[in-house]
Amino acid sequence: MKIMKCMHGSFQSCNDCRMPDGGHHTLKMHGLMKSAVLVLAVVAGFLLFKPVMAAELPKEDKALLESKGIPLYPNAVFFGSARSSVQAGFKFMTSDPIDKVRKWYSEKMTGWSYLEYMGVHYIYKGKPGLKWSDLFGLTNVAISRDANAHKWYDEISPEMTTKIQVTILLSK
């Protein structure tokens, strides 16, 4: 197996960074793996939660969002959260248009950066100009369209198609 410089900056063997074909990965694999585990936990958690209005969020979750400077969108329905040792994730849905939600968050979260990638609008805590792959491990709000959410949750209407996914980095 060909050993390449890993994300740690090492030219030595790094078992976590080896690719089966000996090539060097382009995305931060460790961050992706941690994020993938969190995403699976979030998805599983969402399937077990009964949705409530964002204003009815549990006190602990509300306090975490507030401490990181992330406001609750007023017309959002909360569908659950999941936590790992490094990240917390929250999912909300609303029938408001994506642009309205994006604009609201942009106005409320001044000083945060913005990136649009493949139809997802990210407002993130980090320097401007990052690539999508750099967002793993950063606190962010991702706003996107999910036209099929009503198929997963009987409690929402087909008009509720704007998803607000919040990811919070806990280790900073």
- 164 found inside a domain: yes
> Is the residue at 7 inside a domain?
no
Domain presence at residue 22: no
- Assigned domain for 156 exists: yes
Most confident among 75-79, 102-106, 124-128, 144-148 (mean pLDDT): 102-106
Residues 98-114 have a mean pLDDT of 95
In a domain, 91, yes or no: yes
Give pLDDT, residue 112: 95
Residue span of the structural domain in which 99 resides: 50-169
Mean per-residue pLDDT for 1-23? 40
Q: Assess if residue 64 is contained within a domain.
A: yes
Residue 61 in any domain: the answer is yes
3 assigned to some structural domain = no
pLDDT band at 172 (very low <50, low <70, confident <90, very high): low
Neighbours of 169 (CB within 10 A): 16
Span 57-76, pLDDT tens digits = 788 888 999 999 999 999 88
* Number of domains present in the structure of the chain: 1
